[in-house]
Structure 1
């Protein structure tokens, strides 16, 4: 099941919401309800992997209890922590990277081991990283071990965030399991946030994405340089509205049930450097790697060379987290390379060149998205070559307008404005418009977003989240 599917919108969510409100001020009962709902939600599409989720929950609960009984930073505590991390990475590694490493073994040894083509369980990267952060922070003494198995299960399986994140930390989510408020104001805010996220995904990402798919479905010899540029720009719009839309829906759903889930985006395309981009894009992932990989490796405390090496490792891991292919590793390496270059001294130049720093950042991100979208390094480089020399590739059996329709153009314009330009403009030139938030006009607008989105979903334009595959 997906939080942008008709079965979720018309049946699952209304039923769970009403039952939750019937459990008046009984947090323990609400938690049981939400846990059962989350397990049904997860099992809906792939019931086999509900066992994997339950095993992960039980394992991390037990390891957490063992870790909580050890003295801080003792040898025993470090051993238990290491075992817990290995268990989680072992689960993730088997399902997500087994075939990837098997290909490497085949190439290095000349063997011909058969690929297993293991299906990827939904949300495995998200709930595994959530579990690791729980164990790491428990080891660091940020809180006591969770002794309630149901609470641990709800933390890892909560349906708004399990499939596409954000990666919630237990230190933020845990206290809300025993003490949270469900107010009319918070519920209304949650419904508004959900409506905006649904509109982002269905009205912008899906419509723009349809044109992106048409262009990339063509044989590369039939794609002009202009088409490749259009596809890259449209995909940048699509992936932002797709992922941030799901994040908005998750945050909105959380508020409807009394939870505050962490933010994941802060207008990343307004960034003036790649460093800034990663402070604004997929914030929960970048902060996770910072706290649980970069800093434990030494961060910037062991000299410049070690700092650059640590950054390279982090962005190698970032690319690998997104997918077990050389293309995703190259995408991570691209961002890591420019972050290192900026740390070496290029950032000082960027600070002096004004608007051009946004052009630089946009181009790096855009070329990166080509690699990300194609997900195969060799053809991705061919697309990039066409972008760099568009005058050499002008012939196609299709006209550009055949691949990019009017709806796509309209939604692309709306998308560009909604990436921060409109919001910044309103705050600067029309601050009184902020007072309209929460009023009748916003209510009507949110109702329109929900109605229009559901109409498109009924007509068969449903598509899963891009990050559902990670």
Structure 2
């Protein structure tokens, strides 16, 4: 009874996380009720909406109010956009939706980033104060919220993008609004993907809401297989290597050799893939067991042969969202836009002020002047400049979406630069269309190395950590003791090797394994689940290991 009380009451010590037994007890209880009511569509949707709200409450406490606020705002705005025939009113409404959602996101996620940047640029000492918490305490006449800091609500980036897509899709005529607030709330808050994605597009999920539940044998097989696969990715290929090697190195890179730091970065690429891909695999599997289809979010990203190919395979729901709702509206690969130039001017001005270097003051205006002159005399140059500006801005903003820090902006910028360089290289490369195995191997290797070692800006806690990592790699590789590192942490490296081998298996082999699982009788499926469960929890530590993408 105490266990059930912990599961069904709010406690920061007992969040509902996919890798904890509490979640699976919770899911078994809500699935039992779901099985009794699933044929009644309105009741089913209302039930799943309330369950999802409870799930978020268990994860984030009173921040559930922000989720409810976003749900109410976009439900009524979407309905009014659809009903209006006035073009100006429709634009005002969709702009209001985008601005309100982004303001809420910026307040909670970027308050410190903007404040610290302002203090640095203008030598002020402004401190962050949580005005929403202050007003909430005053309204309730109780001290419910801390006013001296702003805490980031879990999953706010994901459900904010979903509500924006709903309003924009209605404005574009791609979608009709939902009639019931319960149905819309269900779309926004569906608990498997609520806190860490994948980002669900309104035009793909909303049509499923009013369809009868239909769970085929194939859905059951695929769903359970995805869940087991996700648990292995998360608990073995992510958490195990992080706890037993990666975290130790990244916490104090100067205490380890350059070789250990390099191996930690290679391991981190597996960790972040296992963590995020594992989460979305579980989310997709849970949704299938309830008759809903979530979008595929990963497609063997480390098989990519270029940076562009990588971003078509990694976090697909975010990449396509940024393409459709940011890159194309900015002008895409056709032209520049006023928004492109304004955003670019702000970023360049910030860089110039931030560096405060005379060379920067000359270089940036010089590049801008050359670009303007080239664009004036050559339409081809103008198109290339505009296309690459839009691409770079999309990646810079995508980097900032991942974290409120300049190191994430740098990470996004490096990936944007990789995309731009590849665009020009593929036109000149004599091997671009080669099918030779070594050429393919070389492309995959170079792409993997680039993606892996730009992630130092993603993983490190500060720029100081990054500098120490670079120092060790540049000055203290210590090849003489490399074998000792491999032997001492041999279990970690065996798990890393197994993780990468399974990732690089041919797709046909993976499909064969999935079909083999699907054709197995139920007792064998139960046996597989038992083995996976025991293996994962044996490797798991009692320490709480949150999903990396919860912070985004």
For 1:229 and 1:2, locate their aligned partners in 2 and report how far apart those are by CA, in whole Å.
31
Aligned in 2, Cα 1:402/1:323: closer, same or farther, shift over 3 Å?
Answer: farther
**1:65 matched to which residue of 2?**
79
Q: Provide closer, same or farther for how the CA distance between residues 263 and 348 of structure 1 changes in structure 2, counting only shifts above 3 A.
A: farther
Q: Which runs of 4+ in 1 moved over 4 A?
A: 390-396, 431-435, 454-457
Matching residue of 2:460: 374
**Structure 2 Cα separation of the partners of residues 334 and 403 of structure 1:** 34
Residue correspondence of structure 1 range 306-385 to structure 2 within 5 A:
306-346=386-426, 348-349=428-429, 351=432, 353-385=439-471
In the TM superposition, what is the alpha-carbon distance from 1:319 to its structure 2 partner? 0.4
Aligned partners of 1:5 and 1:347: how far apart in 2?
50
Q: Residue in 1 aligned with 2:317? A: 284
Paired position in structure 1 for 2:132:
none
The answer to whether the aligner puts 1:32 opposite 2:46 as a matched pair is yes
Aligned to 1:448: 531
TM alignment of 1:57-456, pairs within 5 A: 57-71=71-85, 74-116=87-129, 117-185=149-217, 186-210=219-243, 211-218=245-252, 220-302=253-335, 303-346=383-426, 348-349=428-429, 351=432, 353-387=439-473, 389=474, 400=485, 404-406=489-491, 408-419=492-503, 421-424=504-507, 426=509, 435-440=515-520, 443=525, 444-456=527-539
What residue number does 1:4 align with? Answer: 19
Q: Contact (CA 8 Å) 1:168, 1:284: kept in 2 or not? A: yes
Aligned in 2, Cα 1:24/1:103: closer, same or farther, shift over 3 Å? closer
Counterpart check, 1:469 vs 2:551: yes
Change (3 A) 1:23 1:465: same
Scaled by the length of structure 2, the TM-score of the pair is: 0.79
**Equivalent of 2:35, from 18, 21, 38?**
21
CA distance in structure 2 between the aligned counterparts of 1:279 and 1:394, rounded to whole angstroms: 36
Cα displacement (A) at 1:469: 0.6
Q: Is 1:460 equivalent to 2:542 in the alignment?
A: yes
TM-score, length of structure 1 as denominator length = 0.92
Which entry has the higher C-alpha Rg, 1 or 2? 2
Return the alpha-carbon distance in structure 2 between the equivalents of residues 189 and 268 of structure 1: 21
Quote the residue 2:344 is aligned against: none
Deviation (angstroms), 1:28: 1.3
Deviation digits for residues 38-80 of structure 1, max 9, x if unmatched?
11110013211011111111111111112112237x1211111
